Amino acid sequence: MNKRIGILTAFVVVAAFAVAAIAAGNPSIEQGKTLFSSTSLGTNGKSCSVCHPGGKGLEDVAASDEEALEKTVNTCIEKALKGKALASGSPELASMVLYLKTLGTAETK
């Protein structure tokens, strides 16, 4: 009897964590790519790709320190897009950094 309740409780806890993880969203290159060309990050109707089409000007960022890169991303969001900086540690910011690191790697070789 008690054992069954224990197993049931464990199952509910695991399920709750799984749902929370899905809701938070795991960072991905795909999400970063979507954000890069999305006007939703700012308030002036621009997206990153307006000024950095195809990753223009960002060929060397793969070599940047991740923390510095997050700051630059947020500077461009605030100054160039007139938007709100993405929270440090958020899946959105992590996705953007993942995507930016894929840029230029093909051209610099």
Task: Give the residues lining the site for ligand HEC (CB under 6 A).
Answer: 41, 46, 48, 50-52, 57-58, 60-61, 69, 72-73, 76-77, 80-81, 96, 100
From residue 86, alpha-carbon distances to 2, 7, 41, 71, 77 in Å are 46, 39, 9, 10, 8
Nearer residue to ligand HEC within complex by CB, 11 or 67:
67
CB of 47 to ligand HEC, least distance (A): 7
Cβ proximity of 100 and 27 under 8 Å = no
Nearer residue to ligand HEC within complex by CB, 19 or 51:
51
